[in-house]
Amino acid sequence: MAAKKVGTLIKEARTNADMTQEQLARKIKGLSASDISMAERGKLDLTQAQLKEIAKVTGVTQASLLNAAKDTSSTKTTKKTTAKKTTSGTTMKVTAAEKKLVELYRAADTETRKEVVSLLKGEETELGDSLLGMLLEGVGEILAGK
């Protein structure tokens, strides 16, 4: 049953990204449309690398797919993983601007990520002013369609 949960999340992510199984398969190395279909039906377990790539391509969090896959592979740790769940097992639609922000965040180095998180929490940071300026400029460009 948990394998179906992963499959359901993959299908939701794919359809929310307006992609066919064929389109998704072309973007994931080593997978065919048939493999995507089997994974969505819970008949094929994908690797963590494949799940991460699907998350990246479809714009969902890697955690949602990976946590669902962990639930599939170990039923003995259900109590532990259940306690840790917050938003895992859910997918959400994101705007193009939000997707771009996630892509920029993922491309950033560790220090920049820490600074951005601190900034978003409202904490004062050494680079806060310059990061805020760059962030606002980037958001402006995204909203302007650049």
Q: pLDDT digit string (tens) for 103-138?
A: 888 888 888 888 778 777 877 777 666 755 777 888
Query: Would you say residue 91 lies in a domain?
Result: no
Taken in order 87, 32, 17, 54, is the CA torsion positive or negative?
Answer: positive
Please tell me whether residues 6 and 77 are part of one structural domain.
yes
68-102 burial: b if 16+ Cβ within 10 Å, else e:
bbbbbeeeeeeeeeeeeeeebbebeebeeeebbbe
Indicate if the pLDDT at residue 87 is higher than 80: no
Query: Would you say residue 90 lies in a domain?
Result: no
Please tell me whether residues 78 and 16 are part of one structural domain.
yes
Which residues, including other chains, have CB under 8 Å from residue 93's CB and lie 6 or more apart? 16
Alpha helices in 41-92 (DSSP H): 48-58, 62-73, 78-84
Task: Give me the pLDDT at residue 24, please.
Answer: 94
The domain of 109 spans 96-144
| Total domains in the fold of the chain | 2
Task: Give me the pLDDT at residue 40, please.
Answer: 92
70 or 25, higher pLDDT? 25
Q: How confident is the model at residue 22 (pLDDT cuts 50, 70, 90)?
A: very high
